[in-house]
Amino acid sequence: MSGDLVLTGLGLVLPCGDGIDAARASLRSGTPCFAELPESLGRGRGAACKDFNPAGIIPPMQLRRLDRCSRFAWGAAHQAFADAGLDPRPLGHRIAVAAGTLTGGSEATEGFLRPYLQRGPEGASPLLFPNSVANAASGHLAQAFGLKGPSATFLEWECATFAALEQAARWLRSGMAEAALVLGTDGLFPLLLEIARGARLLARHGDPVAGSGCGFLPGEGAQAFLLETRDHAEARGARIRATLASVAGIPALANDPLERALALAEAVDRVLPDLPPDRWIGGSCGSSRIDPSEASLGRAHSGWPAPLQPKLLWGEFAGAGGPLLAAALLEPATRVLVTAPASFGPQYAARFEGVRL
C-alpha cells in the first residue's frame, strides 16, 4: 500500500495524560509512566491512564455502560475530530472506523465470566456481555459520533492498529469512505496481568529495558487518527499533520527470531525503499520475542537515528501499535519510520512524511 493519504486529526489517551501536549512532553522527558497498579486493574506494575477524565466528554448514562477500552477510545476520538476540525455527523455515512486492539472485549469478558463461574446464571450481567466483543469500542463510537461507514476491528498481536491503518487506507482509496477514524485501544484488567505474569512475560525487577529480554510492563490507552485523502482534506481546508506514505506487514512464517527479524527488515524495505529516516519510532519493550528484530535492523542501518521507544514509557498493549504511530506525529520531521515488531505473525512498518505540528 502506498499513495497520498493524510492525517488531519490526532487524539491521545495515554498513561502520561490526555492529549498531544502531554504525549509530546512525555516523549521528550523520557520518564516512564510505570507504577504499582490499583487492585481494580490487577496486581503488579503497569502504566495506567490514571488521569483520564471522561467528564464533559462521555455522558454519565453512557459512561457506566462502557468498558475501559471504549472509554479511552471515545476520549481519543473526541480529541481527533476536534483536532481535525471535523463535525463527523453530517458526513457520518462516509466515515469508516478501523480499530486495532489486543485486549478489546477481554475486560468485560472477565467481568462477566468471573461471577458466572462463581454463582451461575444469577451472577451473569447482561450489561457486561455486549462489551465482551473486540469491536465494542467501534460500535460505541459509531453511536456516539454518528459514524455509519464500514467498520473493522483487528487483532494482530502487538500490531493490530497497523492492520487497521492499512484497511482504512484501502477503504479510502476504493471510495468506500471519504474519511476514516483509525483507532488503537487497550485497557488493563486483573486477569490480563495474572496471565501475563504467569506466562513469565512481565519484567519483574524495575522498568523494562530494550534488548534486555527481561520482559515488558503492560500499559493501556487509546489513540485516534483521522485519515483522509489529500483531496478531501484540502477541499475542506483541513490542516494536514502528516502524509501516510506507506504501511506494510510481512508475516514471519515460522515462530523463530530470525524469521521475525527478516520479516521486519522486509517490511521496512517495502515502506522505505530509498532515503533513510530522520526519525525512527520503535516497538521494543523488553521482550525477548520482540526486541531482537529491531536491534538487528539497527545494526544493519548504523547511519539511522536511534529509535525512540514509546513502549518503554507507556507500556506494551496500550493500543496495539497505536502509541508507536502516535509518537511518529509528535515532532516535526521530513520522514519518519515506525517499526512494530510482534511476537508472532506479521511484522509491520510504516512511513510518514512531512510531519507538522
Query: Would you tell me which residues interact with other proteins (CB under 8 A)?
Result: 65, 92-93, 97, 101, 104-106, 109-110, 112-114, 116-118, 120-121, 124-126, 129-136, 138-140, 142-143, 145-157, 163, 167, 170, 174, 176, 191, 194-199, 201, 249-251, 253-254, 344-346
23 and 15 Cβ atoms separated by less than 8 Å: no
Cα-based distances in Å from 40 to 107, 128, 181, 217 = 11, 16, 30, 17
| Strand, coil or helix: 157 | coil
250 and 267 Cβ atoms separated by less than 8 Å: yes
**Distant-in-sequence, close-in-space partners of 304: CB < 8 Å, separation ≥ 6:** 276, 277, 280, 298, 337
**Smallest separation (angstroms) from other proteins to the CB of 106:** 8
Query: Considering beta carbons, is residue 93 or 356 the nearer one to other proteins?
Result: 93
**Smallest separation (angstroms) from other proteins to the CB of 161:** 13
Distance, CA of 286 to CA of 300 (rounded, Å): 20
| Strand, coil or helix: 259 | helix
- Looking at residue 171, its amino acid is W
Query: Considering beta carbons, is residue 47 or 163 the nearer one to other proteins?
Result: 163
**Smallest separation (angstroms) from other proteins to the CB of 219:** 17
**Smallest separation (angstroms) from other proteins to the CB of 101:** 8
Q: Which three cell numbers stand for residue 79?
A: 480529541
- Looking at residue 263, its amino acid is A
**Smallest separation (angstroms) from other proteins to the CB of 239:** 27
**Smallest separation (angstroms) from other proteins to the CB of 112:** 6
Instruction: Look at phi and psi of residue 175 and say left if phi exceeds 0, alpha if psi is from -120 to 50, else beta.
Output: left
**Smallest separation (angstroms) from other proteins to the CB of 145:** 8
Distance, CA of 293 to CA of 158 (rounded, Å): 14
Query: Considering beta carbons, is residue 225 or 348 the nearer one to other proteins?
Result: 348
**Smallest separation (angstroms) from other proteins to the CB of 345:** 5
**Distant-in-sequence, close-in-space partners of 324: CB < 8 Å, separation ≥ 6:** 281, 282, 283, 310, 311, 338, 339, 340
Please give the torsion angle defined by the CA atoms of residues 62, 64, 70 and 74, in that order, rounded to the nearest 10 degrees: 40
Query: Considering beta carbons, is residue 151 or 293 the nearer one to other proteins?
Result: 151
Query: Considering beta carbons, is residue 191 or 214 the nearer one to other proteins?
Result: 191
Burial (CB < 10 A; 0-12, 13-18, 19+), residue 290, is buried
Query: Considering beta carbons, is residue 290 or 330 the nearer one to other proteins?
Result: 290
**Smallest separation (angstroms) from other proteins to the CB of 305:** 29
Q: How many CA atoms lie within 13 A of 342 on its CB side?
A: 27
Query: Considering beta carbons, is residue 159 or 233 the nearer one to other proteins?
Result: 159
Query: Considering beta carbons, is residue 9 or 249 the nearer one to other proteins?
Result: 249
- Looking at residue 325, its amino acid is L
Query: Considering beta carbons, is residue 164 or 355 the nearer one to other proteins?
Result: 164
Distance, CA of 145 to CA of 137 (rounded, Å): 12
